[in-house]
């Protein structure tokens, strides 16, 4: 397996904003059969990707109205719509859901149904959306109307291409023998991958809804050596609380799917799980095959 060595400069820090949102909620959906799956009107559909609040987003219409910007999130077990947007569209409430983050208290939220969500030539119908207040998710005037779970695309190959700023859907499967391809497993409907840090394996979530590169849970960071003591740099707004984010420069390397970070600056958060965020995939494409639980990283440089 070819490995690209990256020397991360200190100028890359920081990557979280004070109003950045980490959505690692376990929305109450237990299997792929519980969630609406995409239907492609062409054999391959490619749509442009924009960035909202520092996160990859797609423009879509809901019941023929819009467009609205939705974050495409591998860190969300179910899809979310902003409360104001749901009210504007007069969406029908069909139930309630329990929303939480690891270690949080959680709360109940209404679920509404969208008859259709259309983005390019890709269509979702009868989509359940959990209502949350996303009004705090603003960066320089940009706002998100919702969060689109990766689980809607379990029946196709999903490619999030940060180099070409596009997202594509097509039939097909990955091969574990391909370069930069790894197996993953699920943890509460979230993709969990194994990352090697200084030769030891640690499980992290794959979370494209986070703009950062690598975020480690505190209990993992406590076992590692840093050039200096990590310090609080930012705050993250979770769905049920706000937590401090520490940053520090790790001594050593982080390896994942053929890519190696040398002496990287990482974030640290006091949660049960950490994550690989979309910052890791800058100038790369992320391909997800949910049929076979495989991930591949395409490198361009």
One-character DSSP codes across 91-118: PEEEEEEEE--TT---EEEEEEEEEEEE
Domain termination residue (choose one: 119, 136, 170)? 170
Same domain, 164 and 186: no
Query: What is the sign of the dihedral through the CA atoms of 218, 273, 203 and 254?
Result: negative
pLDDT at 209: 85
pLDDT of 84-136, one tens digit each? 999 999 999 999 887 766 556 678 889 999 999 999 999 999 999 999 888 76
In a domain, 107, yes or no: yes
**DSSP string covering 150-191:** GGGGTTSEEEEETTTTEEEEES----TTSTTEEE-EEETTEE
Range name among 118-132, 149-163, 198-212, 283-297 with the lowest pLDDT average: 198-212
pLDDT at 119: 96
- Which alpha helices (H) appear in the chain, and where do they start and end? 83-89, 218-221
pLDDT of 146-192, one tens digit each? 999 999 999 999 999 999 999 999 999 999 999 999 999 998 788 99
Same domain, 158 and 40: yes
Same domain, 208 and 97: no
Same domain, 44 and 166: yes
pTM of the model: 0.86
Same domain, 184 and 206: yes
Same domain, 48 and 164: yes
Same domain, 39 and 161: yes
In a domain, 141, yes or no: yes
Same domain, 164 and 251: no
Which has the higher per-residue pLDDT, 207 or 52? Answer: 207
Same domain, 11 and 50: no
In a domain, 293, yes or no: no
Same domain, 75 and 198: no
Residue 227 burial by Cβ neighbours in a 10 Å radius (0-12, 13-18, 19+):
exposed
- CB distance 58 to 72 below 8 Å: yes
In a domain, 254, yes or no: yes
Domain that holds residue 254: 4-19+177-280
Dist. CA 286–CA 256, nearest whole Å: 12
Domains identified in the chain, total number: 2
Specify the CATH number for the domain of residue 82: 2.40.70.10
> Could you tell me the two tokens for 232?
């609080």
CA distances from 30 to 22, 37, 117 (A): 21, 14, 22
In a domain, 224, yes or no: yes
């Amino acid at each position: 397996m070819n490995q690209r060595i990256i020397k991360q400069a200190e100028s890359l820090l920081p990557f979280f904003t004070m109003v950045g949102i980490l959505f690692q909620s376990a929305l109450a959906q237990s299997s792929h059969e519980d969630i609406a799956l995409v239907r492609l009107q062409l054999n391959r559909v490619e749509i442009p990707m924009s960035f909202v609040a520092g996160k990859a987003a797609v423009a879509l219409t809901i019941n023929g109205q819009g467009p609205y910007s939705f974050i495409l999130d591998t860190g969300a077990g179910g899809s979310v719509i902003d409360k104001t947007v749901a009210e504007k569209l007069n969406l029908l409430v069909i139930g309630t859901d329990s929303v939480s983050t690891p270690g949080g208290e959680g709360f109940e939220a209404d679920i509404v149904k969208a008859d259709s969500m259309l983005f390019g030539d890709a269509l979702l119908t009868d989509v359940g959306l959990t209502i949350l207040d996303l009004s705090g998710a603003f960066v320089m005037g940009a706002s998100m109307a919702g969060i689109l779970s990766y689980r809607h695309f379990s029946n196709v190959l999903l490619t999030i291409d940060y180099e070409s700023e596009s997202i594509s859907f097509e039939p097909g499967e990955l091969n574990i023998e391909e370069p930069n391809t790894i197996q993953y497993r699920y943890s509460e409907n979230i993709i969990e991958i194994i990352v090697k840090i200084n030769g030891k394996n640690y499980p992290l979530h794959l979370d494209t809804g986070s703009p950062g590169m690598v975020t480690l849970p505190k209990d993992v960071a406590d076992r590692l050596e840093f050039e200096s003591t990590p310090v609080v740099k930012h705050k993250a707004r979770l769905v049920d609380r706000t937590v401090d984010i520490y940053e520090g420069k790790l001594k050593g390397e982080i390896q994942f799917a053929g890519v190696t970070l040398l002496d990287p600056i990482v974030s640290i958060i006091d949660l049960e799980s950490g994550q690989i965020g979309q910052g890791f995939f800058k100038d790369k494409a992320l391909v997800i095959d949910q049929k076979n639980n495989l991930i591949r990283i395409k490198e361009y440089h």
